[in-house]
Structure 1
């Protein structure tokens, strides 16, 4: 099976994640994710993989045994089964040969992808591009990754002269809901030394840096009173929350920041005069910056409590995930070096980008499995204008093959 047919076949299975089921603790949150995992398990068996395990959570793992007679590190690759919930319709993928200009996705509904809105299209003129029909997501996030990994295994099976050590693959559910599959993943029993996710980004992009991420939940406890006799008695928790928010550093919010600039994100505020709950996200690329932000919030809460009275401000700070870069420092940076060489062998210029978000590799790295991210080649994730140039998809798979090859070569040296 060629890689394009493989990808389109995967898109025919609707794996839209379900926020409702996820909130109820159900994993996978949608039945299509298990259906796709079952299909992949059969394909892995046909490709000669061993130790194939499909759990009732839809976490699927498998191992390709080494074909060399010397010890090597075990490399692994991850992709997620679910697609985002912005659109829930079935995917009707189509391949167009792009000659420039706009692309009509759906003439009946007059849905057009305009080059003026997506100028990066110009770089793919003369290439085949997989697009939607304008009524759904394409699902390249993350089925392009699944196709790239599976095709790489197919290449290795068809070319036994390619030397490789043990290779492990894993497909996990519900990444689109707070990285739930990665959080449930058992890194210790998996037995890999390092890994790569394939998730996001145009050809050549590479992620080995993302947020240190935390959450803050702050309860403001007031005192309700009837307005006719409120003087000296009413303590309005809503106003307390607003004053707290006003004391956050100006300009350090998502809408004012870019690149490696961190922020405080006021995400949710709910309550009444008696009690108000504020929920915030805290993000910073550096360990020191993240620690300073969390310490600032704690100090601000303590100061406000001293001002408004004991028990008036209750703050709970928690860590969500760490920056992948924390796991790739010093001698542990070799997964980056291997990827650089694999990109170079495929004449791809590596463009390292800081990811202003989380991905499965952040959780896996924090669990002890260093895991940067390789491109899939797709663009416009979570949008009906999502598209995937087929040469980029092929290049992602070729990089996977060369990462595996280079890992064995390094061990031989």
Structure 2
């Protein structure tokens, strides 16, 4: 299933990418692995049902208890699947390991896979009601009662997904594909690798917690060690990843699995910082305001007017600053 994620956009059930600086462009969605699509969709629906929106006004990490709840759920599933060194920190950072299966004497770089637990606060409901639809073309109606829809005129990219099953929200919230899609992909990869490494289909609690086991009867090809990290509060300034104990994530190279279009690969992203400017005005009665009153809104307008209008996100691309 398929597409990019925002407050309204759908996501193909299992092909997230990442934000800017594409090294490879999007490709047509795969339609030859219904078992994988179903497994990814089942995970996405389960994870997105946990309210995990972050809160920029909070001072704790994680900033919301829902993120801790999701971290606990993921850790329990990883243990059931047979992952090693599963740990949840005080700040709800989940780390785990898929052990190497390389023959004795062989080595390979340790690969890290990372996703974040929180969804963005877009001023909508934090509760996600995701569902699967068949995209037959044209606008995608999210909520007939409110008129919320993804309109093809505004999002022509949805035409690429005609004939696909899509995950969508109901228009009252973000979908949360950023980054429940990433969580789903990493967890399904872990389920399939660990089951194959064990030489057969996962059973019991592992099967309940994970994949449908299709194609897992034979042993997997040998692979090096894979480390997993799920961090909270990414959407509000990368607060959670700053608490990651790197001793629990000892990797040579790492990939962030985040929402994006099918086949999208990002090799670099922008650097950002936040500055807060406080303007204090001076109150005065209009009769006595001349030379006394200081209107902070007008001062803010004058300040903004001095900024270069061409150095803004809507006017820049690639490595152009703003």
Judging changes above 3 Å, is the alpha-carbon distance between structure 1 residues 254 and 138 closer, same or farther for their aligned structure 2 residues? closer
Aligned equivalent of 1:76: 112
Residue 36 of structure 1: CA displacement? Answer: 0.9
Tell me if 1:127 matches 2:144.
no
Residue 158 of structure 1: CA displacement? Answer: 2.7
Compute the TM-score of the two structures, normalised by the length of structure 2: 0.70
Q: Is the 8 A contact 1:28 1:58 kept in 2?
A: yes
CA distance in 2, matches of 1:90, 1:220: 36
Structure with the higher fraction of residues in helix conformation: 1
Aligned equivalent of 2:19: none
CA distance in 1, matches of 2:229, 2:55: 21
Judging changes above 3 Å, is the alpha-carbon distance between structure 1 residues 142 and 221 closer, same or farther for their aligned structure 2 residues? closer
Aligned equivalent of 1:29: 63
- For the pair shown, the structure with the greater C-alpha radius of gyration is 1
Aligned equivalent of 1:167: 226
Aligned equivalent of 1:50: 84
SS at match of 2:57: helix
Judging changes above 3 Å, is the alpha-carbon distance between structure 1 residues 47 and 249 closer, same or farther for their aligned structure 2 residues? same
Q: Is the 8 A contact 2:228 2:249 kept in 1?
A: no
- The one of 237, 240, 247 equivalent to 1:181 is 240
Aligned equivalent of 1:138: 175
SS at match of 1:19: coil
Equivalent runs, 1:102-251 vs 2, <5 Å: 102-160=139-197, 161-216=220-275, 247-249=306-308, 251=310
CA distance in 2, matches of 1:88, 1:121: 24
Judging changes above 3 Å, is the alpha-carbon distance between structure 1 residues 245 and 191 closer, same or farther for their aligned structure 2 residues? same
**What does the per-residue CA deviation read over 1:283-338, in whole Å, with 9 as the maximum and x for residues that have no partner?**
xxxxxxxxxxxxxxxxxxxxxxxxxxxxxxxxxxxxxxxxxxxxxxxxxxxxxxxx
Compute the TM-score of the two structures, normalised by the length of structure 1: 0.56
Judging changes above 3 Å, is the alpha-carbon distance between structure 1 residues 151 and 223 closer, same or farther for their aligned structure 2 residues? closer
Residue 248 of structure 1: CA displacement? Answer: 4.3
CA distance in 2, matches of 1:48, 1:78: 19
CA distance in 2, matches of 1:237, 1:134: 39
Judging changes above 3 Å, is the alpha-carbon distance between structure 1 residues 211 and 110 closer, same or farther for their aligned structure 2 residues? closer
Q: Is the 8 A contact 2:133 2:168 kept in 1?
A: yes
SS at match of 1:116: coil
Judging changes above 3 Å, is the alpha-carbon distance between structure 1 residues 65 and 262 closer, same or farther for their aligned structure 2 residues? same
**What does the per-residue CA deviation read over 1:3-38, in whole Å, with 9 as the maximum and x for residues that have no partner?**
2111111111111112232xxx21111111111111
CA distance in 1, matches of 2:146, 2:225: 49
Residue 200 of structure 1: CA displacement? Answer: 2.4
CA distance in 1, matches of 2:272, 2:258: 19
CA distance in 2, matches of 1:105, 1:250: 35
SS at match of 1:62: strand
Aligned equivalent of 1:358: none
CA distance in 1, matches of 2:282, 2:142: 57
Judging changes above 3 Å, is the alpha-carbon distance between structure 1 residues 106 and 64 closer, same or farther for their aligned structure 2 residues? same
Aligned equivalent of 2:14: none
Q: Is the 8 A contact 1:220 1:237 kept in 2?
A: no
Residue 113 of structure 1: CA displacement? Answer: 2.5
Residue 212 of structure 1: CA displacement? Answer: 3.3
RCO greater where, 1 or 2, for CA within 8 Å and sep 6 or more?
2
Judging changes above 3 Å, is the alpha-carbon distance between structure 1 residues 218 and 32 closer, same or farther for their aligned structure 2 residues? closer
Aligned equivalent of 2:315: 256
Structure with the higher fraction of residues in strand conformation: 1
Residue 224 of structure 1: CA displacement? Answer: 11
Q: Is the 8 A contact 2:98 2:194 kept in 1?
A: no
Residue 214 of structure 1: CA displacement? Answer: 3.8
Residue 218 of structure 1: CA displacement? Answer: 6.6
Unaligned runs of 5+ in 2: 1-37, 198-219
- The one of 45, 54, 68 equivalent to 1:17 is 54
SS at match of 1:142: helix
Judging changes above 3 Å, is the alpha-carbon distance between structure 1 residues 222 and 155 closer, same or farther for their aligned structure 2 residues? closer
- RMSD of equivalent CA atoms: 3.0
Unaligned runs of 5+ in 1: 264-413
